Structure 1
Amino acid sequence: MRKILLTILTISILYTSNAQPARGLDQHMVLQRCNITIDANAFVAKTFIELEFYNPQDREIEGLEYFKLSEGQVITGFQLELNGKFRDGSIEERWKANNAYNTIVGKRVDPALLQTFGGNSYKLNIYPFAPKSTRKVTISLSEILKNDEQGLLYDLPLVFSDTLKAINVRINVKGKFPLPVVIPGGFLSGTQFLSAGEGYTLSSAFENRMLKWPISFRIPQKGNDYHYQQSPGSDGRFALRLYSDLTEEYLVAQDSLSVYWDISASAIYRNLSKEISFLENYIVSKKISRFTLYLFNNRIQAIQNFDMSQQKLTEIRAYLSTIKYHGRSNINCIDPPLLKTDMALIFSDGFQTSGIRETKYPACQVNFVVSASVNNWSLLGEMADWNGGQVINLNNLSANNALAKTFKAKNMLFYINADSLNETLPIKSTRVLVAGKNNNNGLILKWGNNLTTNKLYQLQPNVSEDSTINTIAIIKMIMEYQQVRKYGQWEDILLFGLENKIVTERTAYIVLERVEDYINFKIAPPKELEEQCAQMNYVYTSVQRRQQLKAYSQQQESASLAANVHTKSVWWQQTVGAGKQATIPASPQPALAGRPSTDKPSSALATTQPSLIAHGENSMAEVVVTSAFGISRTARSTSSNVQFVNSDQLGVVRETNINNALAGKVAGLQVRSQSVGLLGAATTIRLRGENSLSSGGNALYVVNGTIVAEAGDVNPDDIDHLNVLQAPAATALFGPDGRNGAIVITLKKARQYYYRNGERKLANLPDVDYLQEIRKTPRAALPAVYEILKKEYLVDPAFYFDMADYFYKQNFKQHAFAMLEDGIDICNGRESASVAAAYLLESWGEYSRAIELYREILRNNQQDLTLIRDLALAYFQNNQFQLALNTYSNGLLLSSTDSKNPKIKNLMLNELNALVNVHRNELNLDSVDKDFIRYFPADLYISLSGNLDGFTDFNIKTPDHYLISSPYWTTHSSKINFYSGSTEYFIYQGIKGKYKISAYIYGRYQPAPAYLRMVAFKNYQRQGQSIQIDLIQIDNQNDELEIAELNWQGK
């Protein structure tokens, strides 16, 4: 009877379970009602949308709806109806809102989530959605109305696939302008606005209709219409929208002329003949009688006046054809006050390869003339735009059309007498929206350019404040948001979204039902719950949260870097033995000097299991201990918890079972049979660790990095060596699985000898032709031969750098510096070329010049960690230790948004510790995070990096012919943090002899000479520390090459 009842109960439970429909996730919600209210004026619009969804299914679902908005529309509010009342959403970090939502969905408690998933696309989740029920949400939008030639445009592209029971649209437009018009073809086609008080209104209701066309309308505008609103009192905030009746271009007077001619080395890419012809045609067509010609590269080099009443056009061509084109270019050397003529023509490719990249705005109209197929169009356009000028590209214009572009200038708004503006002048349009602060009596605006005012407006406010719309606040918020999205980092976007309560790529709206959930997930409660949260001792302070977020990035960087240093400290402790100090001792320099105890293995290591050293050697350098998943290091780097057995020892008495072969060879290891009554039964191993004398369970087996159930199938003849880890060491590596100890087995394989054996040494490869030629040249003839060779290798960047290196070493220093300038310039301002030049300067010992160049590059790219590291290392080599320390420290705390930055910071940390641990008495460490500083000395520390992508691997052949290329910590080596040319290698106790460094280099076209730089510290962090830096040119190589050699003869 009992069995029958149990059977019936089981069937009943199963039936009930099956009868209940499973809840559906990410299910479509049917939109059945939509109410839209739009309030607009001459500046902005606010939209309030109420959506009612229906769940037609017979099961509970998680509702999901996707929708799109127009560019510039921002979600500023969100509500979910709970128990007949709307609850305001909370704006939070997107990940945090998603985490809270997903967690609460599992508890079947009401949340709703509104977020963007890219561009102007959004998605809405609501849960739980009961079967045959409705849920309501509201969404608030703000935007700046767009303008076109006909007026101001509003467009709401809500499109849904459902047929709605009811759609209600109400639009209120306030302002003094013509009757707004509905855009034909939109959802509101066939409706019209009506006059209402100080504006217009449109109200329409629809039934059983799909919302599949945008809701759009236009507010007509005509020439010289303006709308000017200014806040009363001392605030002075204003907004102005103006439609000028000016034409976009106007004819300009051109009686006087200044000509600026770029004579930098990159002129080799320009069609100088075509440029000279254009200048000749311009002078003739404009009947220019006199003009001044300025020759410039990084500064004005010469000034030549031409009087065309006394001179011929051919003299201009002869003059420009015979000058020497050399050096780097700096357009900013053109001083705007010098441009006092009607027109200036600047002939250049626009690449600024010297000085700070900033835009100076001349007072006259400037036209830029370019003939190089590759040119810096953006910079030239920015400078030309300020004064209504043009960029004239001779490559795609006929002579007549090119000349015609100089006859006209653009009309632009170039002056407003406001105290401050949200926009940057000039504004290249006759239809403008500007906002800012102004405490003057009205506004004055000027159109034209710096030299000519074609129209002047003197305006007084004519729009009263709109009580329904905070116009100026919306304009300010959206303009700032556009700037943050364009130029800000992800942290800036996150903070902006939180501060302004808008949905961004980093923020989302969430509504929760229970007050406990706001507290548990640390989410800002809506106003209605603030008092209840306070009674539960939860007060959310948005200011405090923003401060936490601002500090988070730096804290995250510090924590990550400190963990990195800690990893090295652990490695160092394991290498030198237990009980050694890994951090910097309290006493300064004297305590660091020498450190004899750290230069050899500890006594504990030296005496552990001496009988297990292979071949009875006294040195442990050749004994490789494999621990964890294939991680190898030499025996001197292991603790007494690890014991080593090689293949020779296993074969003393031949056994077919690995467990039996270990019997009697390892202290604390017991071999036991599963059954004492069966002959030949399987055996197990039990280990007694240092902290436990119990027999415990079976040991863990790891074969070539893979955990296996048992090692019975492993042939002892296939074993190269094995390591026996007692419980403490095994647990540290394998976690709970290693609680009974571990047997780590390494099978035999071919040894990693250097397979090319030096056949591909970069030093043995023949030089390029021009170097072979120059080496045969007598010293006195070097400059002349260089000029001859230059004609053949004119556009080869490597030619200039190679020649500079050779000439410097022949003591032609000024020639070498000039060649570097030319080399940088013909690379069109690429940062990699400037870095290559700085590398060469360092290799010559010209540290001050290298530092000056690094600083110049950094002024144009202040967040580049690679450059910061390069600058710090140059300071280090120049014995400017405090500047080096400050540079390293500041760079380490910069945000790591670039994927390569953590790897660069790793190099910086190592070099910072090399600096601090040897020169501590000379340094002020107040600005350095103390968690960054650790003492982990080594005989050798080698890193490899480069100015360009150019190698994919890095390995080292030790003096004892061992090839190191493992991506993990070992005593022999450590290769970590590789990226397009950055990796490193440590050795605690080196072997005397030559270490040969190789890299696999893949050849391809590079826009600048490709260099690898090996930085080697001998006696790293020890007294007597020295730095060896090798610079290797790797252009056109495509193989594994031995690129450098490091000779280590001991401390």
Structure 2
Amino acid sequence: MRLLFTVFLLSTCLLLTAQVKPSLPVKTTVQPRVFDGKMILQRCSVAVKTDGITAVTFIELEFYNNRDTEIEGLYRFNLRKGQVVTDFQLELNGQYREGSIEERWKATNAYNTIVGKRIDPALLVKEYDNTYSLRIYPVPAMKSRKVTIALHEVLPIVANEKTYLLPFDNNDVTTAFSFRFEAIIQTAKPFFRSLPGSGAEFTAIPNGFLSTAEMHSVVLNKAVDVVLPLTATQILVTKPAASKFYFALQLHKELSSYYAISPKTVTVFWDASASSAKRDTKKEISFLKQYLLYHQTKTVTVIPFRHKPFDTVVYNINSKTIRQLEQYLTALTYEGATGIGRLNFATVSSTVTFLFSDGYNSFGKRMPTQGNTLLYALHSAPADSVYLKAVAGSGGAVVDLRRLTIDEAIEKTSQAERMLMAVESVNGKTIIESALPVKIDQPILIYGSMHVPTDTLRFYYGNNQLASNVEVIPLSTASTQVSSGIDRLKMLMRYREATTSNDWNDVLDFGLDERVVTQRTAFLVLERVEDYIRFNIAPPKDLEEECRRLNYVKKDTRMQRRAMDKQPTETNLNSVVELYNQRIKNWDASATLLQYKPGAKPVVVGPAPVRNEMQQQIGETSSVQTALQGHAAGISIERNNELSEVVVVGYSSAKKREMTGSVAYVQQRDVFQGYTNIGEVLAGRVAGMQVTGNSGVPGAIPDIRIRGAVSLGASAQPLYVIDGMPVKAETVFQSLNMNDIESITVLKDASATALYGSRAANGAIVIQLKKGKNYTHYYYRYRKYKMSEQEDVEYLQEMKSVALSEKIAMYQALKMEYGQSAAFHVDMAEHLFSCGFNSNALAALMTAMELVPNDFYMHRTAVFILERWKQYSEAEELLTDLLSVHAAELYLYRDLAWVYYQQQKYQQSVDLLYQGINVNFGSDEGRQAGLKAVLLNDMNAMIELHRAKLDLSAINPTLIKALSADLLIVAEDNERSRLNLQINEPGVQSMVLYGHPSKNGGFVATEKNSAYVYGSASGIETYTIKTASKGKYKVTVNYYAGRSYNSTSPSYIRLCVFRNFGKPDQSIQVETIAMDNQYGEIEIAAVGND
């Protein structure tokens, strides 16, 4: 039996062996890698040491990958505001390697390039605010990786307690959590408000307290939150360094926060702008008089200002001069704009300064020049209190005379807030790093470095120039405690300000210099020395010897980066040159194009012949003629008939007397109180109109039918238009104030459809508001019209009807009704200037700016008008301030350059245009190329005319090529709206349009590159003709930028006509055309070339 079984077994084995085929190599299945994989926090160890001022935290984290494939681990965590990541390490081969601080983009690039190659990188970055992310690659399957993170912070103080908080909010379940908290220089026992796990307590140790804990299976869903009660009034800690000691001194002062003052000299800045007319100046003057008498002040200096100071009066106070002061302030006229930013408090030497203003700054830069004077800002009307507080500064105050009696106001301004003004080293060997002055209502922190073991510090308390008391505090390194974190105090105190800088280079340099994580810097750990060399990364200490052996020294690219940042961005000018070359082709198809070479420098044969721009050689005549009105240099811009011919196609107008029964007109006097909506006003006044109430609910939209129902189910509601802009019915019936309406026009026939298309198939209700009624005594109709034949707005009719001697009085009277309209004051300014009242015209223009403070478009309107008035100094001041705030607005570079030019400041003009051409817009460069081409054209014309007077050593010579022309017309809207410039050349019926040059060589160019705006023109548009014919060139714009319901500033077009552009006999003529409520193809000028 046993034999038979053996035979059977052998037979079976032989049979199976015969049936098995030769096997192929087995293909193993590789699990795909996982990126951004969540890591499990397996172990966490936290060690904290505080010294009464700073805290240093050391965290060790072990992450575990519980997957069956390797992952790129990702872990996000939060820190408390003020905590700064100062160190990072990754465990490699059983030892920790320190991280290198690098530019974030470079560290990220290096990390992403290496990931996937089974080489160990780790990256720690700040994502936003206080959120950080940690990435490690690889984390092998079922294995773990370790890192360490170090934090520094200044312990915040709240209600006589210092607090420490380390957030844990990821709900990680750790197998082991260890904790150690050592608080030195701590007299009162700390306690926990929260802690992962439970049971930890503080025990006393020499000079402090200690808490330790070892816990298992802990859920990290609570912060480590420790309270350190304050008892000491003074803490002094030091830390030795190579040749000095870092020190930090924290004081808890019990001085009163305010102390009495009795000023003998006072300076008063008195706001006399238009908005200040609402102030209770009688109460303000009464306060000032009684304040001066109460303190027996000897001298008061009064500086009234509008858009800038316009007078200075000094009074030696006595019973007579106090009345003179009152009379002077009472007699001031309140008009014009507010230019608080033009005040200079640094020139004030008086004990106390008063600023009487509502704080609504409307002209130029925002903040004034600060000084050392104690400043109180007082107002007696609604005011911008936040702005006034910023102007008053940390030591000053805002006084609201509406809420205080005069006695209370005098009491408040007769005391100064006590501050620590300065700290002085007696032997001069202690360097103070703290920013001063500081308030004393919180503990004061003074820090720096001592270069001798002992010193004495003098503390000066007071306010600005007023010192109230001096305190002396000795310093000694022998009797103080050694700190662990105060050597980073300077960095910690600067961190928030430095990392919120608008200059990314500053943020980057701060992070690199201080070796901390910011939004521009990150910690990176690499495994191989080759990768540190490849990506130009600073090596860790354990690789420094190998790097020296390989002769690797990290290149410091900081200076190169800074230098590149300061250099003109010529590498981005290719798109500008491309558009400029297109202009050259249009100008002369056979002309040589620009052969642009970035970085090219001019060939200098000898010294550049630079002359004083205000001087001329003997026998040399000026090549610039400027004519702003009438006729000049062969150019005529006719103001009576042909200049103001306005041809409107589609959106046109007709006078009231030309209208037929198809239009119903309701004026303001017919719209009286008691009506709640326009449906009630129009009911029964318009033939054929049906007005049916809807539900009777306030704000409900009534059913209004002008022509009857069109069809079943179709809406029969008319189109609603406010100041030329179609709006929803809800806007009319739920948002419109009936008292704002000037007139209502109901269009019932085909004119409504011709004007607004199918939207007005059921008619149109056109509402004209009081604030938008300039040039609107006409009604829409499909026809041509001349603006010069239209009736003036009522206030202009009244102004023109009075004698010259009554103009100012009439303006003051009209202000009672129209004074809140910026357009009214602009119109008044234009009229008064035409009558020779230049100063009054300027005041009216400034008042318009006051009504729309900080409105960029209103500022440009003012610039247009000032330039036409030849008020170049005022225009230059305004543009300089605007450019300081809007450094990327290329329009302002061009505006200011031409203002310079018309003052014969040719070098400044060319330099500013070149500066504008080289503003770096980064990825948005293409959208700015068209406007830069305009600036390049202007610059080349100036160079062509004044080359002998200019220093061109800083300008790339491959950009210089002038396009001289008999005639150049430049049109632009103050709001940069689309104009669609069209020119009707003499004797030619067809129009010259963008993209369609004339047979005579005239062409229209736009600011924008058609590749970016799909061929639409916008902003600056120009017409150029190299050889102009005799006759009139009619200028038309296709304008659809009328004012909207919420508009505030008026719409203007500036028209600059250059005759013989870029030639020795060049002349410039500037006109401004008001465009409020204009829609359609409008002929705005007829330029003569005789």
TM-score (norm 2): 0.69
Alignment-derived partner of residue 952 in structure 2: 925
2:963 matched to 1:951? no
Per the alignment, residue 552 of structure 1 pairs with: 564
How has the CA–CA distance of structure 1 residues 107 and 1046 changed in structure 2, closer, same or farther, with 3 Å as cutoff?
Answer: farther
1:558-957 equivalences in 2 (<5 Å): 558-569=570-581, 572=584, 576-577=588-589, 580-583=592-595, 759=784, 767-825=792-850, 827-828=852-853, 833-855=858-880, 866-894=891-919, 896=921, 902=928, 905-935=932-962, 945=972, 949=975, 951-952=977-978, 954-956=980-982
Deviation at 1:463, TM superposition (A): 5.5
The equivalent of 1:192 in structure 2 is 201
- Tell me if the contact between 2:901 and 2:909 (Cα under 8 Å) persists in the aligned partners: yes
Which residue does the alignment assign to 2:1008?
976
Cα contact 2:983–2:1023 (8 A) shared by 1: no
Answering whether residue 1069 of structure 2 is matched by residue 1031 of structure 1, we say no
In the alignment, what sits opposite 2:138?
128
Partners of 1:229 and 1:462 within 8 A in 2 = no
User: Aligned runs of 1:292-331 on 2, under 5 Å?
Assistant: 294=302, 296-297=304-305, 298-302=309-313, 322-327=331-336
- 2-side partners of 1:892 and 1:240: how far apart? 52
- For residue 825 of structure 1, report the CA deviation from its aligned partner: 4.7
Give the conservation status (yes or no) of the 8 Å contact 2:978–2:1019. Answer: no
Distance in 2 separating the partners of 1:809 and 1:524: 70
For the residue of structure 1 that corresponds to 2:128, the secondary structure is coil
How far apart in 2 are the matches of 1:436 and 1:758?
A: 79
Native 8 Å contact 1:943 1:982 kept in 2: no
**Aligned-partner residue type, residue 920 of structure 1:** R
**8 Å CA contact retained: 1:255, 1:286:** no
Letter in 2 for 1:800: H
What is the rounded CA distance, in whole Å, between the counterparts of 2:96 and 2:292 in structure 1?
76
Q: Give the whole-Å Cα distance in 1 for the aligned partners of 2:299 and 2:329.
A: 15
Aligned pair partner of 2:180 in 170, 176, 185: 170
Task: Write the mapping of 1:379-394 to structure 2, written as runs, cut at 5 A.
Answer: 379-383=388-392, 385-386=394-395, 389-394=396-401
Task: Report the alpha carbon displacement of residue 23 of structure 1 after superposing the two structures with TM.
Answer: 2.0
CA RMSD in angstroms, aligned pairs only: 4.7
Report the AA paired with residue 192 of structure 1.
E
> Would you say the 8 A contact 1:762–1:1042 is kept in 2?
no
Q: Is residue 413–residue 430 contact of structure 1 (8 Å, CA) maintained in 2? A: no
Query: Counterparts of 2:1003 and 2:325 in 1: how far apart (Å)?
Result: 70
Residue in structure 2 matched with residue 100 of structure 1 by the alignment: 110
> Which residue pairs with 1:696 in the alignment?
none
Classify 1:222/1:503 alpha carbon distance in 2 versus 1 (closer, same or farther; 3 Å): same
Q: Give the letter for the 1:889 counterpart.
A: Y
Name the residue aligned to 1:996. Answer: 1036
Q: Which residue of 2 aligns with 1:208?
A: 217
Q: 1:100 to 1:587 in 2, by over 3 A?
A: closer
Q: For the residues of structure 2 that align with 1:570 and 1:524, how far apart are their CA atoms?
A: 48
Give 1:613's aligned residue.
none
CA displacement at 1:1012 relative to structure 2: 3.9
The residue aligned with 2:731 is: none
Q: Are 2:290 and 1:264 aligned?
A: no
Indicate conservation of the 8 Å contact 1:28/1:65, yes or no: yes
- Answer whether contact 1:359 1:383 (CA < 8 A) is retained: no
Q: CA deviation at 1:413?
A: 2.0
For 1:21 and 1:208, the matched residues in 2 are separated by 31
Q: Distance in 1 between matches of 2:198 and 2:383?
A: 50
Look up the equivalent residue of 1:416 and give its one-letter code.
Answer: V
Q: CA deviation at 1:809?
A: 2.6
CA distance in 1, matches of 2:787, 2:531: 65
With 107-116 and 898-907 compared, the bigger mean Cα shift is at 898-907
Q: Give the 3 Å change call, closer, same or farther, for CA 296–845 of structure 1 in structure 2.
A: closer
Contact 1:81 1:137 in 2 (8 A): yes
C-alpha distance in 2 between matches for 1:227 and 1:168: 31
Q: CA deviation at 1:30?
A: 0.6
- What does the per-residue CA deviation read over 1:105-135, in whole Å, with 9 as the maximum and x for residues that have no partner? 2445432222122111111122222211111
Q: Does structure 2 conserve the Cα–Cα contact (< 8 Å) formed by 1:73 and 1:142? A: yes
Q: Deviations over 1:846-897 (max 9, x none)?
A: 3344334434555677776554432222112333211211222344445548
Q: 1:549 to 1:221 in 2, by over 3 A?
A: same
Change (3 A) 1:934 1:860: same
Quote the residue 2:287 is aligned against.
279
Task: Tell me how many residue pairs correspond in the alignment.
Answer: 862
Q: Which amino acid aligns with 2:45?
A: N
Q: Tell me, what secondary structure is at the counterpart of 1:870?
A: helix
CA distance in 2: counterparts of 1:845 and 1:368, whole angstroms: 36
Distance in 2 separating the partners of 1:230 and 1:1014: 69
Range 858-867 or range 794-803, more displaced: 858-867
What is the CA deviation profile of residues 394-424 of structure 1, one whole-angstrom value per residue up to 9, with x for unaligned ones? 4566889767755764332223336764414
Residue 155 of structure 1 and its aligned partner are, at CA, apart by 1.9
Q: Secondary structure at the match of 2:810?
A: helix
1:378 is aligned, of 387, 391, 398, to: 387
* Seq. identity, %: 28
Higher relative contact order (CA 8 A, sep 6+): 2
Which residue identity does 2:982 align to in structure 1?
I
Asked whether the 8 Å contact 1:24–1:59 carries over to 2, the reply is yes
Cα distance, 1:777 vs structure 2: 3.0
Cα deviation, residue 956, structure 1: 3.2
**Matched residue of 2:45: which SS?**
strand
Report the CA distance shift for 1:990/1:390 in structure 2 as closer, same or farther (over 3 A).
same
2:46 aligned with 1:36? yes
Match of 2:423 in 1: 416
Return the match for 1:21 from 31, 43, 50.
Answer: 31
Give the whole-Å Cα distance in 1 for the aligned partners of 2:844 and 2:303: 20
Tell me the distance in 1 between the aligned counterparts of 2:292 and 2:509.
59
Contact 1:182 1:191 in 2 (8 A): no
Distance in 2 separating the partners of 1:467 and 1:764: 89
Gaps of 5+ in 2: 1-19, 426-430, 605-779
Report the CA distance shift for 1:567/1:839 in structure 2 as closer, same or farther (over 3 A).
closer
1:299–1:330 CA contact under 8 A, matched in 2? no
Change in Cα spacing, 1:171 to 1:395, as seen in structure 2 (3 Å) is same
Offset, 1:833: 4.9
Cα distance change of structure 1 residues 35 and 972 upon mapping to structure 2, 3 Å threshold: same
Quick check: 861-870 or 65-74, which moved more?
861-870
| Matched residue type, 1:572 | I
Q: 1:955 to 1:54 in 2, by over 3 A?
A: farther
The 3 A distance-change label for structure 1 pair 555 and 104 is farther
Instruction: Give yes or no for the alignment of 1:492 onto 2:532.
Output: no
**TM-score scaled to structure 1, two decimals?**
0.71
Higher mean C-alpha deviation, range 292-301 or range 142-151:
292-301
Partner of 1:22: helix, strand, or coil? coil
CA distance in 2, matches of 1:972, 1:891: 23
| Superposed displacement of residue 213, structure 1 | 1.8
The structural deviation recorded for 1:212 is 1.8
